[in-house]
């Protein structure tokens, strides 16, 4: 086209002046035959480009609306004026205002560069970051509609970006609707963090208010960070920590058990030492008497009078019985611990049984007077085992009291059971020892005269327990200890 205009022979094909036209006539140049195709072609290209620009700008965020309008206005002004001039539309047919329009458009663009940062690269860089960031990002207007979104947000919604923009967030992501709506309530400008799920993934929503522009609400920016892997790692870490804590707890329990076992072994060792000391004393005394009397009888054969011989033989028999009683108690305690003792239950008059035991134990009771208060009552029990209970209680009372102090023995009914009481005037049993003295090899702290082996009361407790009874000790009203045994009465005590 420029070549056609430059050659005089072809110039008139584009533009020509009619005959007689001069500057004085004020007639404009006329269009040649090639002018209109050229005008149509150029305007088609220009308007097509303008339409594409407008479509592109319409898809941009509302934040760039001012810049978009400025660009479109600057482009359309010279195009429209030139078109009006070429079409001879009054009053634009006389003077071509296109150059002046370009000057005005240039001025507008220069103003936009400084006022609206029209050529600033920062929005371009931010837009690039916005498009390439892997986290879904949504720009919402005050009504919750999507103004802009990045490709990650489109993938999350399962729609193209052209279908995402302009849609309410509640329709795009229904599971987020309530969370986003609540977070968009006035919060004083502070960002809000929420956790939501979508298609089995966990997202941390960071919702922040956009600044207001021209007194209009700025909407909200929603950034969804996929924290599924982080949550899985945290859960695994918590599970590992819980397992570690459980292992630590098990180790602590095992250590406690070890300490308890060590303490138990230490206690058993102390009990063994005390038992050996007590038993050795209890065995050594009668055994020394047996050996001494035996040697005296052997060396004094024929020299001792019959009365002395009878006395020595009586002492010998008494010490032998004492040894037998100690060994029998140990064997019985072992049988009770192993559960191989059988009871031969039969109706027994407890009062008569106690009276017989007291009578037979006169030698062991020595100078201890025994006061009996016996009421007849029948019990269903193994008579031999109950006799052992009574004998052990009497021996215990005699062993732990001063010579000459009385012992009180009472038998009587208590509701539907039979109660046996053996009271003494000794030092009594401290409250913290009233349970432990019924355990094997445990001895009371008031054992002044003969410490005992710690077997007698343990036998009492276990034999009474075999009879479904109960044994305990309490303070006597006048001072001392009151050992009590409760046994089921035969026929309910009737």
Phi and psi torsions of 211, nearest 5°:
-65, 150
* Average pLDDT score over residue span 96-125: 72
Note the pLDDT tens digit of each residue in 40-57.
Answer: 888 888 888 888 877 877
Q: Which residues contact 487 (CB under 8 A, 6 or more apart)?
A: 350, 379, 381, 386, 417, 418, 420, 464, 467, 469
Note the pLDDT tens digit of each residue in 404-455.
Answer: 899 999 999 998 899 999 999 988 889 888 888 888 766 665 444 444 556 7
Q: What whole-number percentage of the chain has pLDDT above 70?
A: 78
pLDDT at site 388: 86
Bin 346: left if φ > 0, else alpha if -120 < ψ < 50, else beta.
Answer: beta
**222 three-state secondary structure:** strand
First to last CA, the chain: 141
* Average pLDDT score over residue span 182-199: 72
Output the CA–CA distances (angstroms, integers) from residue 467 to 83, 395, 436, in the order listed.
125, 21, 20
**Closest C-alpha among 90, 100, 80 to residue 28:** 90
Output the CA–CA distances (angstroms, integers) from residue 349 to 294, 325, 352, 381, 465, in the order listed.
41, 24, 6, 10, 19
* Average pLDDT score over residue span 326-348: 75
Note the pLDDT tens digit of each residue in 117-157.
Answer: 655 556 666 777 778 888 888 888 888 888 888 888 888 88
306 CB-contact burial (10 Å; exposed 0-12 / middle 13-18 / buried 19+): exposed
Query: For residues 355 and 374, is the Cβ–Cβ distance under 8 A?
Result: yes
**Closest C-alpha among 98, 118, 99 to residue 108:** 118
HSE-CB at 452 with a 13 A cutoff on CA atoms is: 26
Report the length, in residues, of the chain.
494
Across the chain, what does the average pLDDT equal?
A: 80
pLDDT at site 481: 93
Q: How far apart are CA 414 and CA 214, in angstroms?
A: 99
* Average pLDDT score over residue span 27-47: 76
Q: How far apart are CA 149 and CA 61, in angstroms?
A: 9
Residue listed under structure tokens 């970006």: 161
Note the pLDDT tens digit of each residue in 233-279.
Answer: 999 999 999 999 999 999 999 999 999 999 988 877 776 666 666 56
Cis amide linkage into residue 91, ω under 30° from 0: yes
* Greater model confidence, 210 or 451: 210
- Cα–chain center distance at 152: 37
Q: How far apart are CA 119 and CA 110, in angstroms?
A: 10
386 CB-contact burial (10 Å; exposed 0-12 / middle 13-18 / buried 19+): buried
Contacts 24+ apart (CB under 8 A), 432-436: 434/472, 434/473, 434/474
């Amino acid at each position: 086209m420029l070549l056609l205009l430059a050659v005089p022979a072809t110039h008139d094909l584009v533009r020509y002046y009619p005959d007689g036209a001069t500057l004085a006539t004020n007639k404009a140049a006329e269009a040649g035959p090639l002018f209109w195709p050229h005008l149509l072609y150029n305007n088609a290209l220009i308007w097509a480009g303008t339409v594409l620009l407008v479509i592109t700008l319409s898809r941009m965020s509302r934040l760039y609306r001012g810049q978009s309008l400025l660009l479109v206005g600057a482009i359309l002004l010279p195009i429209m004026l030139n078109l009006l001039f070429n079409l001879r539309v009054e009053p634009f047919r006389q003077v071509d205002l296109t150059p002046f329009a370009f000057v005005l458009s240039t001025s507008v663009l220069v103003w936009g560069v400084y006022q609206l940062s029209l050529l600033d690269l920062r929005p371009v860089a931010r837009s690039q970051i916005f498009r390439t960031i892997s986290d879904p990002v949504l720009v919402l207007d005050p009504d919750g509609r999507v103004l802009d979104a990045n490709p990650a947000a489109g993938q999350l919604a399962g729609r193209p970006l052209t279908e995402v923009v302009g849609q309410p967030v509640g329709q795009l992501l229904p599971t987020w609707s309530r969370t986003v709506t609540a977070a968009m309530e006035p919060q004083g400008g502070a960002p809000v963090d929420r956790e939501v799920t979508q298609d089995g993934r966990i997202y941390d929503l960071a919702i922040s208010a956009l600044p207001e522009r021209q007194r209009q609400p700025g909407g909200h920016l929603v950034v969804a960070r996929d924290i599924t892997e982080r949550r899985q790692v945290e859960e695994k870490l918590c599970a590992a920590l819980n397992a570690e804590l459980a292992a630590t707890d098990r180790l602590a329990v095992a250590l406690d058990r070890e300490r308890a076992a060590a303490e138990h072994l230490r206690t058993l060792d102390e009990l063994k030492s005390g038992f050996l000391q007590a038993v050795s004393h209890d065995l050594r005394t009668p055994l020394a008497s047996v050996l001494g009397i035996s040697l005296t009888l052997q060396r004094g054969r024929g020299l001792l009078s019959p009365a002395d011989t009878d006395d020595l033989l009586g002492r010998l028999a008494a010490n032998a019985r004492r040894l037998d009683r100690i060994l029998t108690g140990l064997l019985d305690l072992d049988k009770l611990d192993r559960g191989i003792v059988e009871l031969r239950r039969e109706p027994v008059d407890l009062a008569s049984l106690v009276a017989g035991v007291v009578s037979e134990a006169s030698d062991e009771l020595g100078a201890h007077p025994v006061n009996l208060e016996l009421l007849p009552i029948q019990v269903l029990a193994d008579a031999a085992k109950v006799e052992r209970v009574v004998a052990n209680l009497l021996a215990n009372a005699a062993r732990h009291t001063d010579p000459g102090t009385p012992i009180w023995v009472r038998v009587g009914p208590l509701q539907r059971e039979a109660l046996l009481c053996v009271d003494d005037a000794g030092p009594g049993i401290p409250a913290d020892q009233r349970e432990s003295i019924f355990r094997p090899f445990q001895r009371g702290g008031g054992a002044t005269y003969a410490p005992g082996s710690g077997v007698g009361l343990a036998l009492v407790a276990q034999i009474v327990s075999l009879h479904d009874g109960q044994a305990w000790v309490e303070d006597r009203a006048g001072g001392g200890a009151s050992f009590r045994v409760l046994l089921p009465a035969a026929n309910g005590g009737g």
